[in-house]
Amino acid sequence: MTDLLSLYRTMVRIRAFEDAAEVASQGGVTAFGQQATAAPARVRGPLHLSTGQEAVAAGVCAHLRRADLLTSTHRGHGHTLAKGADPARMMCELFGKASGYNGGKGGSMHIADFDVGMLGANGVVAAGLPIAVGAAQGLKLRGQDAFVACFFGDGAINRGPFLEALNWAQVYQLPVLFVCEDNRISATTASGPMTAGPGASARATALGIEAVQVDGTDVQAVSEAAAILVAEIRAGHGPRLLHALTDRHKGHVSVDPATYRDPAQVAAALARDGLARTRAQLVEQGLATEVERIEREARAEIDAAVATASAAPPPARDAAYTDIQNIGAGVWA
């Protein structure tokens, strides 16, 4: 069983990164949510935060090896960090700097790090599902001892790629763990009224895929459920689905005040905060000193990432003409 302190460390790093990125996107540079100086917004492009959903990324990715693969969503910073990506290079990408993962040209929704098995975030809802299935088929054809963790939101289950991906994975018994981060809101609209039936778990079960629903704000529960499902996938029993009920604390993007949300529901979500719950559990176990050390280290790490991104140079002008596909020729420049 994964150590709770280790899970908390991952959650704290994610929260620190998201808090810093949020303030930098609004103007200012921060660490752990505390604004330091007023300045122009430094994050380039839309920023979709995973604040509140840290337990899902931490609990699932604790059971991934380096050789395992991962596909993410437009709200993918937590998955990327939990899989082992460098927060400084991530922050550089958000700031539009040359040393970012995509040379500063992709931004938040396109971060990828193949070296750690992170195949990429994706700005298109549900688009990561068929990518994950294709990657899993490749792993199976090559006989590799690895699997793919595919993260997606509840809004994705109403799009065609969800059914196509799950069907293909089940027909060919592919090594995929589908992870539905069900925060019950699709962009600015509640998902419930738009979704027929009980949701992701029921749809997976209808295709013969074993599905487990879990409290996605309880990192221990997520980790324990993921451990069982991952073991079954590694044993060759085909795809599995983890349906994690979680909460999105922020608006759709970092500059969205989310005034369309019911204040009572937001307050309830904040009261269920998985990070605060885990911290309280650890303090109750007599680990307050270790908890405070982890938090200091996370602040320092993300402070350093922000400083690195702030000082890094922008892409050179001629870089605008690289990484561009010539549609007519079908090649990359």
- In a domain? residue 333: no
* pLDDT for residue 30: 42
246: phi then psi, degrees, rounded to nearest 5: -135, -170
Q: Among all chains, which residue has been given the structure tokens 């419930």?
A: 192
Q: Domain containing 190 — which CATH number?
A: 3.40.50.970
Characterize 22-46 residue by residue with b for buried, 16 or more Cβ atoms within 10 angstroms of its Cβ, and e for exposed: bbbbeebbbbbeebeeeeeebbbbb
- What are the pLDDT digits (tens) for 92-113? 999 999 999 999 999 999 999 9
Count Cβ atoms below 10 Å from residue 261 Cβ, excluding itself. Answer: 16
- In a domain? residue 103: yes
198: phi then psi, degrees, rounded to nearest 5: -70, -15
Q: How many helices (H) and strands (E) does the chain have?
A: 11, 12
Q: Among all chains, which residue has been given the structure tokens 């931004």?
A: 107
- What are the pLDDT digits (tens) for 119-131? 999 999 999 999 9
- What are the pLDDT digits (tens) for 223-260? 999 999 999 999 999 999 999 999 999 999 998 999 99
Question: What confidence category does residue 41 fall into, taking pLDDT thresholds of 50, 70 and 90?
Answer: low
For helices 274-284 and 54-61, the axis angle rounded to 10 degrees is: 60
Q: What is the pTM of this model?
A: 0.92
Total domains in the fold of the chain:
1
- 215 contacts: CB under 8 Å, gap ≥ 6: 221, 222, 244, 245
Angle at CA 49, nearest 5°, toward 222 and 200? 45
- In a domain? residue 259: yes
- In a domain? residue 330: no
* Distance of alpha carbon 42 from alpha carbon 23, whole angstroms: 9
* Distance of alpha carbon 121 from alpha carbon 315, whole angstroms: 21
Residue 221: which domain range? 4-318
Query: Are 18 and 239 within 8 A, CB to CB?
Result: no
Q: Among all chains, which residue has been given the structure tokens 């990192």?
A: 219
Question: What confidence category does residue 40 fall into, taking pLDDT thresholds of 50, 70 and 90?
Answer: low
| Residue 60: CA count within 13 A, CB half-sphere | 37
11-15, 24-28, 137-141, 164-168: least confidently modelled range = 24-28
- What are the pLDDT digits (tens) for 177-232? 999 999 999 989 999 889 999 999 999 999 999 999 999 999 999 999 999 999 99
- In a domain? residue 10: yes
- In a domain? residue 157: yes
- In a domain? residue 118: yes
- What are the pLDDT digits (tens) for 262-305? 999 999 999 999 999 999 999 999 999 999 999 999 999 999 99
* pLDDT for residue 42: 87
Is 90 exceeded by the pLDDT of residue 333?
A: no
DSSP-assigned letters across all residues of 48-61 = ---TT-HHHHHHHH
* pLDDT for residue 322: 86
SS3 167: helix
Is 70 exceeded by the pLDDT of residue 70?
A: yes
- In a domain? residue 285: yes
Evaluate the CA torsion angle 21, 25, 29, 35 in order and state its sign. negative
Q: State which amino acid sits at residue 170.
A: Q
Question: What confidence category does residue 167 fall into, taking pLDDT thresholds of 50, 70 and 90?
Answer: very high
